[in-house]
């Protein structure tokens, strides 16, 4: 059976690549060096898990999908995926990618989700946007592993509840554990803390609700799903910023990890938003030497 070697939940900041890689060092903002250093440290948490396959969770920002047919939950099942759209390259200087897929695992995941009551949509012509490419850039820039992409609607309300996102994560974890393959699977998902886009609180010196961010990080880091299910509603999220429901994908990642404390927690308060870098090792921390030799 497959091993769940790591679960990573992170914010995705589409300007990281432009600011730290495409901007000449002398023109980079003062926070760039610390930002890059934190990303490199975070990347090590995935590298240490020696993943063979990545289950990646993100959301389409009206790039491929639109309100004529917007899937609540969708999985890709393809041998290859193209990534990043014209308007992301235009706005964020995002690089384009071609990612290898894993059709067998996507099919196993799709069937497992249906069996567990999650009636997913499926795409055989999915193009991947920055919600998945940003964590590729930060955690696996060589993009050398096959991916199983899972997209959620955190964007076009009304949305499913936080409990539904968490339960979906639990279902994904159980399917990974049942997959009859001798491989290490890492789950990597991205979302947001408090965030405002196209509203009066955007592009300030901090994110729209720094106190909410710290609370949200603590919930996730402690595996405190009870508090999340009590306090995280559509109304409470949009009170913290109109794009804050991207937090639901981080709740989904906690669902994959389970209600346990995180093994790695870091963050960086930036202008406009706060970055968060979190990793769980549900089957043991590979950095401690507890896993690996015995397998």
What residues make contact with another protein under the rule CB under 8 A? 61-63, 66-69, 85-87, 90-91, 155-158, 197-204, 238, 242-243
To the nearest whole angstrom, how small is the minimum distance from the Cβ of residue 236 to another protein? 13
- CB distance 237 to 193 below 8 Å: no
185 close to 283: Cβ distance less than 8 angstroms: no
Shortest distance in whole angstroms from residue 126 CB to another protein = 15
Cβ-based nearer residue to another protein, 91 or 261: 91
Q: Residue 241 Cβ, how far from another protein at the closest point, in Å? A: 10
Q: CB 20 → another protein: shortest distance, Å?
A: 16
Residue number, 117 or 198, with CB nearest to another protein: 198
Q: With respect to another protein, which residue has the nearer C-beta, 25 or 158? A: 158
Alpha carbon 130 to its chain centroid, in Å, reads 10
> Parallel, antiparallel, or unpaired for β 121-123 and 274-280?
unpaired
Q: Which of 246, 248, 262, 259 is nearest to 6 (CA)?
A: 262
Written as one string, the DSSP assignment of 239-295 is HT-TTGGGHHHHHHHHHHH-SS--SEEEEEE-SSSEEEEEEE-TT--GGGTSSSTT-
DSSP state of 25: G
Q: Enter the DSSP assignment of 197.
A: S
Report, in Å, the least distance between residue 17 CB and another protein. Answer: 17
91/104 with CB nearer another protein? 91
Residue with smaller CB distance to another protein, 45 or 242:
242
């Amino acid at each position: 059976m497959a091993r769940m070697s790591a679960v990573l939940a992170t914010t995705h900041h589409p300007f990281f690549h432009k600011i730290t890689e495409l901007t000449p060092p002398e023109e980079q903002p003062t926070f760039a060096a610390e930002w890059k250093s934190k990303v490199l440290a975070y990347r090590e948490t995935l590298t240490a898990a020696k993943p063979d396959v990545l289950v990646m969770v993100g959301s389409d920002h009206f790039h491929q999908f639109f309100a004529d047919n917007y899937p609540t939950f969708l999985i890709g099942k393809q041998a290859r995926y193209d990534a990043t759209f014209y308007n992301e390259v235009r706005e964020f200087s995002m690089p384009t990618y071609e990612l290898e897929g894993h059709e067998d695992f996507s099919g196993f995941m799709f069937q497992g989700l249906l069996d567990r009551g999650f009636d997913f949509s499926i795409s055989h012509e999915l193009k991947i946007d920055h919600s998945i490419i940003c964590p590729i850039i930060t955690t696996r820039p060589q993009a050398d592993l096959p991916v199983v992409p899972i997209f959620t609607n955190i964007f076009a309300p009304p949305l499913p509840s936080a409990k539904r996102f968490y339960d979906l994560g639990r279902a994904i974890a159980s399917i990974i554990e049942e997959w009859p393959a001798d491989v290490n699977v890492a789950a990597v998902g991205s979302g947001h803390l408090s965030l405002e886009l196209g509203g009066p609180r955007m592009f300030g010196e901090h994110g729209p609700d720094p106190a909410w961010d710290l609370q949200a990080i603590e919930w996730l880091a402690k595996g405190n799903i009870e508090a999340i299910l009590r306090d995280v509603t559509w109304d409470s999220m949009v009170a913290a910023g109109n794009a804050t429901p991207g937090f639901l994908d981080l709740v989904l990642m906690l669902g994959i990890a389970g209600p346990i404390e995180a093994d790695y927690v870091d963050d960086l308060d930036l202008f406009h938003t706060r970055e968060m870098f979190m990793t769980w090792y549900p089957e043991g921390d590979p950095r401690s030497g507890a896993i690996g030799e015995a397998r």
